[in-house]
C-alpha cells in the first residue's frame, strides 16, 4: 500500500491531522515551498501553486524503507580493465533517489579557519576527510554512502601517506576514485578531496 493510500485510510477512519500533517492534495504556496515546508511536490518543480503535494514525513518513511532495500553499493569488477590496487573500486553501482555533490575540502580547521597539518600529508588527509564527513552528515549522507571521490595532490610522492589514512575512512565497500596531481592548492594545502554520495 502506498503512503498516500495509508494516509487516506487513516483519514477515512476519522484520524485528525496533526500540525505537521496535511491532506495529500493540499495546495501549498510558493512561499511555503521555498521555506522548507513539510510538504514536497510530486511532479514539476517550477510550479508550486495549486499542485498535488505529498507528505514529506510519510513519503520520507516510505522512501526510507525502499532505500534500505536497495541502498547497496555493488562493486563493478572486470578483468577487461586493470584491477583496483588500493582502497577504491573500478566502479560502484547503486540505486539512489538523491545524490549530494560535496565540494572539494582542504585541511582547514572549521573552528579557526587555519590550515591543519603544516605539510604533513597524513594529518592533512585526516582533516580533509573529517571535513567531508561533516558536510555529508549535514546533507543526510555519510562516508558510508560515498560512491565517488577525487583526490588532488600537489605531490604524487605523498600518495602512499594519503592512501594509508584514506583507507581507514572507507573500511567497507570503497568508492570509485581518481587521484590527480595539481600545481598548487588553496592556502598551501597539499591535498584536497571532493565526493559524491547517496542520500537515504
pLDDT, tens digit (0-9, with 9 covering 90-100), for 3-26: 455 545 554 555 444 433 333 333
Burial label for 107, CB within 10 Å (0-12, 13-18, 19+), is buried
Residue 16 CB neighbours (<10 A) = 7
Residues 6 or more apart whose CB falls under 8 angstroms from that of 139 comprise 100, 102, 197, 199
Task: Answer whether residue 155 shows pLDDT above 50.
Answer: yes
Mean pLDDT within 136-165: 95
Instruction: Give pLDDT, residue 94.
Output: 74
Instruction: Give pLDDT, residue 98.
Output: 87
Burial label for 189, CB within 10 Å (0-12, 13-18, 19+), is buried
What is the rounded CA–CA span in Å between residue 168 and residue 128? 13
Which has more pLDDT, 136 or 11?
136
pLDDT, tens digit (0-9, with 9 covering 90-100), for 72-94: 677 888 998 888 888 999 988 77
Burial label for 87, CB within 10 Å (0-12, 13-18, 19+), is middle
Report the predicted TM-score, pTM, of the whole model to 2 decimal places: 0.62
Task: Answer whether residue 103 shows pLDDT above 50.
Answer: yes
Go through 21-34 and write b for each residue having 16 or more CB atoms within 10 A of its CB, e for each that does not.
Answer: bbbbebebeeeebe
pLDDT band at 144 (very low <50, low <70, confident <90, very high): very high
Mean pLDDT within 154-176: 96
Domains of the chain (ranges plus CATH)? 3-70 (no CATH), 74-198 (3.30.1330.40)
What is the rounded CA–CA span in Å between residue 133 and residue 95? 21
Amino acid at each position: 500500500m502506498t503512503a498516500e493510500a495509508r494516509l487516506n485510510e487513516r483519514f477515512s477512519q476519522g484520524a485528525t491531522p496533526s500540525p505537521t500533517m496535511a491532506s495529500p492534495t493540499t495546495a501549498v504556496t510558493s512561499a511555503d515551498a521555498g521555506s522548507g515546508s513539510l510538504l514536497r511536490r510530486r511532479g514539476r518543480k517550477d510550479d508550486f501553486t495549486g499542485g498535488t503535494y505529498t507528505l514529506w514525513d510519510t513519503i520520507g518513511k516510505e522512501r526510507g524503507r525502499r532505500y534500505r532495500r536497495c541502498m547497496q553499493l555493488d562493486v563493478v569488477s572486470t578483468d577487461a580493465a586493470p584491477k583496483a590496487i588500493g582502497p577504491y573500486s573500478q566502479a560502484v553501482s547503486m540505486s539512489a533517489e538523491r545524490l549530494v555533490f560535496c565540494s572539494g575540502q582542504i585541511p582547514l580547521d572549521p573552528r579557526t579557519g587555519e590550515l591543519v597539518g603544516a605539510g604533513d600529508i597524513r594529518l592533512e588527509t585526516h582533516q580533509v576527510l573529517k571535513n567531508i564527513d561533516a558536510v555529508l552528515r549535514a546533507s543526510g549522507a555519510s562516508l558510508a554512502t560515498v560512491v565517488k571521490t577525487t583526490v588532488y595532490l600537489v605531490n604524487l610522492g605523498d600518495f602512499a601517506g594519503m592512501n594509508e589514512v584514506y583507507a581507514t575512512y572507507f573500511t567497507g565497500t570503497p568508492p570509485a576514485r581518481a587521484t590527480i596531481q595539481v600545481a598548487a592548492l588553496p592556502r598551501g594545502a597539499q591535498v584536497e578531496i571532493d565526493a559524491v554520495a547517496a542520500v537515504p
